[in-house]
A and B are shown apart, each in its own frame.
Chain A
Amino acid sequence: MINSSRYWVQRSTATSRLGAVLGIMLLAVLISVPYWGGRAEMRLLVEVFYILALAQLWNLLAGYGGLVSVGQQAFLGFGGYMLFVFSIHVGVGAVWTIPLAGILGALISLPVAFLVFRLRGHYFAIGTWVVAEVFMLIFAQIIALGGGSGASLPVSVVRSIASSRSVREATIYWVALAVVVAVIVVIYLLLRSRHGLALTAIRDSEEASRSLGVDNFRAKLMVYIFAAFGTAAIGALIFLTKLRISPAAAFDINWTTTVIFIVVIGGIGTIEGPIIGTIIYFLLREPLADYGSWYLILLGSTAVLIMLKAPQGIWGLISERFELRFFPVQRQLRWTVNDD
């Protein structure tokens, strides 16, 4: 037998320690934005935060769980509507509807999973989209929620967050920041854990992971429920910033296609990929948004080019060339050099 002290496992790397320091500094700066930043910058950053959080969740779902859903807008729209239901009709504080929408989204994902988990591959993708369309049609029928034309959040609900506009905007900003940080931290901890081993194995070969004792179905279901929880909570947050909801806006497939674009160009199956992808998406969008269709054509061409030239995404290229890893989910085996 080999003495147990001769082998050990190391998780952090030089770049990850540097990354942790930079990450904490960046977080400190982001927390302070409401004290010195302008209104427009804060609005933009809130959008960056929730899009990044959605991208991380979709990446977990598709990049690790192999669940290529194009129907996450079902949970996003559902969460958005839960904000209106509970803040207007039940009297829950607007911000508190965010975790509540998450819990309800997780619950509603169970019957949905029961349906779509029977489908494989492309059929799964189409099935999830159909479910999202069904959600839209159902919410369009509910007269109390404005039916097909939608509803606005009453001034009283908006005021209940905070009476002054600047405090209200700062509150929403911090909540959005907290949501994206929570999503990234939870996914990071999940991937570092034993479950992360299973999910990464499933990402690389479902056949082999099954034959090594991994319950693929359970792991996928867990990821699906977690993604539904997060996406529904973010849905409530998004429509709290928009103050108005309609079935067409809430269950718009563009929520999911935007996120797929981000994950694919950034690098699927990594935590860094969606971060890079989100930065690229907003860098392209901000200066080009005024060019209408040309902007969409450019976005599409970028995606096609990257898929052809760098299927692992931009982060895939960078991490391969420079051996960089900011989120150390890997386990490095170390041992003492003097051998028997």
Chain B
Amino acid sequence: MADLLTTTNLSKSFGSLLVIDSFHMHLIEGEALGIIGPNGAGKSTLFNLITGSLHPNSGSIVFDGADITRMPAHDRCRAGIGRSYQIPHPFVGMTVFENLLVGAAFGSGRGESESYDFCAQILKLSGLLEKSNVLAGSLTLLERKRLELARALATRPKVLLLDEIAGGLTEHEVKELIATINSIHAEGTSIIWIEHIVHALLSVVSRLIVINFGQKLDDGNPKIVIKSPEVQKVYMGISVE
């Protein structure tokens, strides 16, 4: 299997603060990759660099065989990078269905009316069909998180970047979310998932990267990685399971 995404020597600083430090990573096509690390380790910044919300100070990003380091965010979405935000950013004045249509009509490369059925199917998959015609501003937190995911799926991504999508949900809600993400992965979409709820992460991903101070601390089999002394030290002895 070929690499779908690679970052080489990626660095980003805000003023004198180095947030991502010479970061190397790769994602194999079809893989589900997890990322953990303490708060402020640079996880979300890494996502912002990959999606084009931020531009790196140095280094390069290659996606699907093309260098996308200088590509604007909307073109990266069209190329197949979908994302969900840690803090949901719904289009509050649009209906749930229309939220998805934006992604389908602009991010997927297909027309608006050709996407109606596709969006309806995603709404069904993510349990939002009954809320289709409700304004997104009136959704609960769980529904907003689902909308983040559904909207990213509407762009027909090759890789889906999930940023703490399970945060703030109840145990039961997390289980439902895992089932949804597993079915998306089973259909062939690659996944990179940042998550603090490690057990949720471990039921989906086949590889785990640990970040601390913008650097890669560990990368490998999730079960081995979380038991490594370095990871235990970063989490200050708190059991990550």
Among the 9-residue stretches A197-205, A229-237, A252-260, the one with 4 or more Cβ atoms under 8 Å from chain B is A197-205
Cβ B74 vs Cβ A216 within 8 A:
yes
| Interface bin, chain B | 35 or more
Most chain B CB within a 10 A radius of its CB, from A205, A210, A212, A330: A212
A127 smallest CB distance to B (angstroms): 23
Within the assembled complex, what's the spacing in Å between the Cα atoms of A9 and B97?
Answer: 10
Q: Is A247 an interface residue (CB 8 A)?
A: no
Cβ A214 vs Cβ B97 within 8 A:
no
| Interface bin, chain A | 20 to 34
Which residues of B, 80-99, contact A by the 8 Å Cβ criterion?
83, 85, 89-95, 97-98
Q: Is B151 an interface residue (CB 8 A)?
A: yes
**Residues of A contacting B73 with CB < 8 Å?**
210-211
**Residues of B contacting A215 with CB < 8 Å?**
72, 74, 106
Q: Is A207 an interface residue (CB 8 A)?
A: yes
Cβ A209 vs Cβ B102 within 8 A:
yes
Q: Is B101 an interface residue (CB 8 A)?
A: yes
Cβ A214 vs Cβ B132 within 8 A:
no
**Residues of B contacting A308 with CB < 8 Å?**
none
Q: Is B116 an interface residue (CB 8 A)?
A: yes
A311 smallest CB distance to B (angstroms): 13
Q: Is A333 an interface residue (CB 8 A)?
A: yes
A120 smallest CB distance to B (angstroms): 15
B205 smallest CB distance to A (angstroms): 22
Cβ B95 vs Cβ A205 within 8 A:
no
Cβ B51 vs Cβ A211 within 8 A:
yes
Q: Is B78 an interface residue (CB 8 A)?
A: yes
B32 smallest CB distance to A (angstroms): 21
Cβ A213 vs Cβ B101 within 8 A:
no
Q: Contacts A4-B117, A197-B98 hold; do A213 and B108 have CB atoms under 8 A apart? A: yes
**Residues of A contacting B123 with CB < 8 Å?**
333
Contact of B78 (CB < 8 Å), options: A2, A213, A269 = A213
Within the assembled complex, what's the spacing in Å between the Cα atoms of A330 and B97?
Answer: 10
Cβ B132 vs Cβ A333 within 8 A:
yes
Q: Is B77 an interface residue (CB 8 A)?
A: yes
Cβ B120 vs Cβ A212 within 8 A:
no
Cβ A208 vs Cβ B85 within 8 A:
yes
Q: Is B180 an interface residue (CB 8 A)?
A: no
Cβ A205 vs Cβ B89 within 8 A:
yes
**Residues of A contacting B98 with CB < 8 Å?**
197, 200, 330-331
A65-89 vs B, CB cutoff 8 Å, 1 = contact: the mask equals: 0000000000000000000000000
Which residues of B, 133-152, contact A by the 8 Å Cβ criterion?
133, 151-152
Contact of B53 (CB < 8 Å), options: A7, A207, A269, A335 = A207
Most chain B CB within a 10 A radius of its CB, from A203, A331, A335: A331
Cβ A332 vs Cβ B95 within 8 A:
yes
Cβ B106 vs Cβ A331 within 8 A:
no
Contact of A2 (CB < 8 Å), options: B106, B107, B121 = B121
Contact of B105 (CB < 8 Å), options: A197, A211, A333 = A197
Cβ B133 vs Cβ A194 within 8 A:
no
Cβ B133 vs Cβ A213 within 8 A:
no
Cβ A212 vs Cβ B132 within 8 A:
no
**Residues of A contacting B107 with CB < 8 Å?**
212-214
Contact of B89 (CB < 8 Å), options: A9, A207, A330, A332 = A207
Q: Contacts A210-B74, A212-B155, A331-B101 hold; do A200 and B94 have CB atoms under 8 A apart? A: yes
**Residues of A contacting B78 with CB < 8 Å?**
213
Cβ A9 vs Cβ B95 within 8 A:
no
B82 smallest CB distance to A (angstroms): 8
**Residues of B contacting A201 with CB < 8 Å?**
91, 94, 102
Q: Is A294 an interface residue (CB 8 A)?
A: no
Cβ B74 vs Cβ A214 within 8 A:
yes
**Residues of A contacting B74 with CB < 8 Å?**
210-216
Q: Is B56 an interface residue (CB 8 A)?
A: no
Q: Which B residues lie at the A interface, using CB under 8 A? A: 51-53, 72-74, 77-78, 83, 85, 89-95, 97-98, 101-103, 105-108, 111-113, 116-117, 119-121, 123-124, 129, 132-133, 151-152, 154-155
User: What are the 8 A-B residue pairs with the smallest beta carbon separation, nearest first?
Assistant: A213-B107, A213-B106, A208-B89, A204-B91, A213-B77, A212-B103, A7-B120, A333-B132
Additional A-B contact list (6), CB under 8 Å, known A197-B101, A216-B74, A330-B95:
A207-B85, A212-B154, A212-B155, A213-B108, A331-B97, A333-B119
Enumerate 16 A-B pairs (CB-CB under 8 Å) in ascending A order. Answer: A9-B113, A194-B111, A201-B102, A203-B91, A205-B89, A210-B77, A211-B53, A212-B151, A212-B155, A213-B77, A213-B107, A214-B74, A331-B101, A333-B95, A333-B119, A333-B133
